[in-house]
Structure 1
């Protein structure tokens, strides 16, 4: 098929999907038709109610729950109709999950379980939390029954064996539901108009949709991106929303609801084929909420100020995570990018939200009642074989054992050392007796890890070796074979622990009031100036040690750094190529290997942040003056040294995103042999740089008692990321079995 024909089919599919099929699906038209026709004649696939028969005969001790005996068996709550003031009543039925089992699954934040109210089921009274009571009252129909799956009621919470079985089944329960009902809580005054405001914003943010598509240019490829760019320049741009036309307080208050901060709820939203968001009895589709949140993100970065936006950054990240994971899980031929990938016009999509470790990392900032739920709360989303006993959701085992079991599963079953790169907080609140090689998953560091986007990066520190690992008999010591390469000589004092993007704040100083989004970029770049200046100093000192080093990798590193570097006709000083790649961990702003063409962006960035650091307020005043001139006259004097409205700022910000990804929760460091790179924030002078067999990145180790080591974390050391420690002839015979405690 010719390219022109494929493109015509592509745009036709996109049009059908986005303007026809998806709106009808999202509004539930197809579900309603099926429910009112086919499934009126097809009943639920029930399991025979032996338990109810015994109860009706008066057999004592039967209780409210019929035992679950089949692999895909669960219970459903038949909620009886009633008015808001009527008592809650229902009954439980055992069913098998299948295409004919029609129900809605409830997703809500449990809330305080120390305060309870009652739900009556077939003569038995269940204690339920106030949040669940509110949900059932608001979602109950007044004239006919509603079939629901509700975890607190449909699972016997006193039976740990049943809980383990149902947690493993939860992926199927939410995925096979007609729809998932996301309940955010009662419609109090602070959010009474929130749903109406979201529907209004969904229309107002339409001009921002081109920014959303253009931001994904590398996903679409140069051909499709070129078409998007050519058309987007002709479309109307979004102007700032006038004060008072949108009640931002209502929207922000809604996004601050506890549902958005919970770990379990992310899984439930990802698994849903269709979801509806309720606040009280008012609702919007999940897809509309996704679009509005994405629009708010772009609006705050590119157009204007959203009051209180900084208070919901975690909520924004959570919704974007759900959106990305859903796109991976439910791709179909009506998705244009999937269609082009199938025909090899675009690269095949990467699975970045399908592995359990990735999901745990991405949900690290969310809350859960038990530390183990950091793992079990996303287990149902993982597209891996998680049937191992090591991942059994057993609430009776200690937290430390649950965390250790997951690490053992990741290394020995999943054949990966990525989990060792999950640095975490190990203060007095950490679970008892955690070895250094077992992260505290309840308190992971801010940075996602060098291998979070493992399908994008080209790191391969371990070369073509395979993992060689074993456990001690008491499973407290992890033995890994590898090579000790170097030792840390210098560690920087400065640390990047800020958010990736800083937004314009309504609380900014008076001199910045009304500033355009360029001031936002200035604030971001200003925070990096000291960090980059320190990195340059450590790098130069490492180069001096490299010149006199006789280490096994010194000759190769010296050869790589020696010549001047030429990029786009410009000659940069010796060592330039190695330095700029080290500064960004050799990754561009999307986490992919940085091409040669990225060098000018990094150079512009370095010049900009160092100038900001040296000039301080004078730099800001100069920019404010130039910005005012540009706004008044439409251009700025070409002789100006720095103009934030210029192309160079956009180019520099691309590098800023790369530096932010590289430096988050890390420090710049140099080694004894003259190498340099980013190390964990807890690293210090004298720590060992080691490359483990089968690992894609080096690790920092610290000597402990009896010749053992403690794991500090993963690192990026330029000159070790492509298997140099394995292939260099000088490193042969340097093999060590590291005992990690």
Structure 2
């Protein structure tokens, strides 16, 4: 969107801390030019208004609307054009009445976007603006046959308010149609979380259809009740914006509220793939939700107050979100999260970074999760529900500290000191497994192994160390793991045209989907029983976008695709999952300094968990992460 100079913005200066503006859309026909009155008011004295929740859309595509500004004293400024995105203009046309004015709060119009102090002040007011609105109107865009929006909206209304028509209920649209509809831009934006969560009432508008937001609760229930369906959508998840907003979430049922930092980390993980125009918004947009959780928990469990393990009323850290470079904000945030929740934050740092100057121990929340199998990042299972995991015991000593440094070439930075044990050096490295392009380098990975890696171990009926690594240890039925590996081998042989090997005699292969060349690798278990399919596909979850490695001492493991031969495996005291690290710094920069490349899985030694095996070793020493 074109940002006009502050002096050309049609609205007057906001004089009070709780001042804000609303617009009054003048009545008009559907395609008539848009005329609005810009009114200045305040939270205490404002008349009834609705708040608009929408996706700005392409900022380069704008059109002017006509604005007459009315000051708090009644003075009127002459009409002036104001550029808005086409998405905003479409929303105004759709919501405009033909017979009278309609009062709305619209962020891109009611805030002078070019005046930074005003924008910051108004962002602080936004939770109160949305909670004070008589209704939040969610505008998804105009109807489209491409995603079947009219069909889905009609069906959602039927779910919410079943008709008593003799013709019966509307049948559910094809799941692909529902998924396409939920792929609209609004469902991918981080700001909508507070806009809907804080609303007294919300309604959804798409084209000329309108349904209450509560209809999406029925969608959630419908999906849950139909989760036994097989096919490519079996493991599809509702967008986080829907799943999180139609339920009160796990905090409302806890006898005590997890700490502020624990809940902040939880939300940052789950909103990582949501978008924002400014990357700083990825943090700022979710902070009001933490305050809402405190209010909601007080309401649901008043008996938990005022004694609440000292956790309920944790104060938010004051960040100057828009006054510093993005890297500085993320570094300060990471320090706060580590001091408040422990080193679990390092699990989130294993992605490429887009913010220049970001240390490897700092998560870049502006970068989406790495491509994952079945739309479920591995971290989801760790950060899903057990928020108590991230409540630090104040009596436990900290195993980390921070320090500032200056490198030999003059660069200044912040480094993290931890206690870590070495797990060897990567000596052999396989290709990247990519399930989405039907490439699972099973045979190439086997070629890196020693004979002992491929032999069935005495304490395992069917499993070699190699197979256990392929599932990252997540095996509940051994015969399923063996059959899954055999099916992938068959698939590879069919694709390459090479003769297939006979499967081992210790099991019989179930009837699997055809491995003809037109079948996708990710679908080869589609014709099996659901329980078999879930367990067999764990190999895809474990290996997608991973590389098999062999260390210099003969251990096997799986690591992110960025690793290379010569990188090191280490485990950090306080964490179970090992990390792959790289020594990239000159000796003059300090001994033992490394960069994190991400978490990895390394095979256990016998039945002992790898992290615990090293945790109880005597090899811990201080390491510096930059």
Common fold by TM > 0.5: yes
* 8 A Cα contact 2:187 2:241, kept in partner: no
The alpha-carbon distance between structure 1 residues 535 and 452, as it changes in their structure 2 partners (threshold 3 A), is: farther
Measure how far apart 1:702 and its partner are. 0.8
> Corresponding residue for 1:471?
403
Counterpart check, 1:163 vs 2:91 = no
**1:276–1:284 Cα contact (<8 Å) kept:** yes
Matched, 1:134 2:90: yes
Corresponding residue for residue 453 of structure 1: 381
Structure 1 partner of 2:317 = 388
3-state SS of 2:417 partner: strand
Aligned length: 537
Give deviations 1:572-605, integer Å, cap 9, x for gaps: 05x65x6655433344xxxxxx6xx443432332
C-alpha change, 1:250 and 1:320, in structure 2 (3 Å) is: closer
Matched, 1:583 2:470: yes
1:96 corresponds, among 18, 37, 43, to 43
| Alignment counterpart, residue 204 of structure 2, candidates 252, 272, 277 | 277
Per-residue deviation, residues 451-471 of structure 1 (Å, max 9, x unmatched): 4432579999x9987331212
Q: Secondary structure at the match of 1:131?
A: helix
Say whether 1:683 aligns with 2:563: yes
Distance 1:400 1:272, change over 3 A: same
Rounded to whole Å, the distance in 1 between the matches of 2:157 and 2:508 is 40
CA contact (8 A) 2:350 2:596 kept: no
Q: Gapped runs of 5+ residues in structure 2?
A: 1-8, 71-75, 162-168, 295-313, 407-411, 501-506, 514-524
- Asked whether the 8 Å contact 1:277–1:286 carries over to 2, the reply is yes
Matched, 1:601 2:480: yes
Q: Pairwise mapping of residues 41-52 of structure 1 onto structure 2 (< 5 A)? A: none
* Aligned residue runs from structure 1 range 468-547, under 5 A: 468-472=400-404, 476-498=413-435, 527=438, 530-531=441-442, 533=443, 540=450, 543=453
Query: RMSD of the alignment, in Å?
Result: 5.0
User: Does residue 369 of the first structure (1) align with residue 277 of the second (2)?
Assistant: yes
The corresponding residue for 2:298 is none
- The verdict on how the C-alpha distance between 1:712 and 1:651 changes in structure 2, with shifts beyond 3 A counting, is same
Measured in 2, the distance between the counterparts of 1:149 and 1:169 equals 12
> Which secondary structure does the structure 2 equivalent of 1:472 belong to?
strand
Question: 1:683 aligns to what SS in structure 2?
Answer: coil
Q: Structure 1 residue 433 and structure 2 residue 357: aligned?
A: yes
- Could you say if the C-alpha distance between residues 189 and 477 of structure 1 is closer, same or farther in structure 2, counting changes exceeding 3 Å? closer
Cα distance in structure 2, aligned partners of 1:697 and 1:201: 43
Q: 1:393 to 1:145 in 2, by over 3 A?
A: farther
Q: CA deviation at 1:727?
A: 1.4
CA distance in 1, matches of 2:332, 2:174: 48
- State the secondary structure of the residue aligned to 1:493: strand
Structure 1 spans left out of the alignment, 5+ residues: 1-60, 207-237, 343-347, 500-523, 548-560, 566-571, 588-593, 622-638
- State how far apart, in whole Å, the 2-side matches of 1:543 and 1:247 are: 46
Separation in 1 of the partners of 2:398 and 2:483?
Answer: 41
Q: C-alpha distance in 2, partners of 1:273/1:604?
A: 53
1:401 to 328, 341, 347: 328
Contact 1:690–1:701 (CA under 8 A) maintained in structure 2: yes
Q: How far is 1:715 from its partner?
A: 1.8
- In structure 2, the CA distance between the partners of 1:186 and 1:498, relative to structure 1 (3 Å rule), is same
Match of 1:154 among 97, 110, 115: 110
Deviation at 1:686, TM superposition (A): 2.0
Q: What is the CA–CA distance in structure 2 between the aligned matches of 1:722 and 1:249, rounded to whole Å? A: 41
C-alpha distance 678-380 of structure 1, shift in aligned 2 (>3 A): farther
Q: Give yes or no for the alignment of 1:703 onto 2:588.
A: no
The 5 A counterparts of 1:590-739 are 597-616=476-495, 642-644=510-512, 649-704=529-584, 705-706=586-587, 707=591, 708-719=593-604, 721-728=610-617, 731=618, 734-739=619-624
| Equivalent position of 2:17 in the other structure | 69
Q: Tell me how far 1:656 sits from its aligned partner.
A: 3.5
Q: Note if 1:111 corresponds to 2:52.
A: no
Return the structure number with greater helix share.
Answer: 1
Separation of aligned partners in 1, 2:538 and 2:175: 32
- Secondary structure at 2:366 match in 1: helix
Shift of 1:101: 8.1
Relative to the length of structure 1, the TM-score reads 0.60
Render the CA deviation track for 1:248-285: whole Å, top value 9, x for unaligned: 99877755543344443455345556432212332233
Q: Is the 8 A contact 2:196 2:202 kept in 1?
A: yes
Residue 388 to residue 542, structure 1, CA distance change in 2 (3 Å)? farther
CA contact (8 A) 1:421 1:450 kept: no
Structure 1 residues 324 and 196: alpha-carbon distance in aligned structure 2, compared to 1, 3 A threshold: closer
Aligned-residue offset at 1:357: 3.8
Contact 1:80 1:145 in 2 (8 A): yes
How far apart, in 2, do the equivalents of 1:703 and 1:454 lie? 28
Distance in 2 (alpha carbons) for counterparts of 1:404 and 1:683: 24
Paired with 2:243 and 2:190, the residues of 1 have a C-alpha distance of: 16
Partner in structure 1 of residue 150 of structure 2: 195
Distance (Å, rounded) in 1 between the aligned partners of 2:36 and 2:264: 38
1:327-349 Cα distance to aligned partner (Å, 9 max, x none): 5536799xxxx6xx99xxxxx99
More RCO (CA 8 Å, sep 6+): 1
| Residue 244 of structure 2: aligned partner | 325
Q: 1:537 to 1:104 in 2, by over 3 A?
A: farther
> Partners in 1 of 2:231 and 2:473 — Cα distance?
33
- Decide whether aligned partners of structure 1 residues 600 and 366 sit closer, same or farther in structure 2, where only a CA change above 3 A counts: same
C-alpha distance after superposition, 1:667-716 (max 9, x if no partner): 22232333333212111222122222333422211112223212211222
The 3-state SS of whatever aligns with 2:581 is strand
Q: Which deviates more from structure 2 when the two are superposed, residues 476-485 or residues 160-169?
A: 160-169
What do the CA deviations read for 1:92-121 (whole angstroms, capped 9, x no partner)?
Answer: 3433389x9854321112134453413423
CA contact (8 A) 1:489 1:669 kept: yes
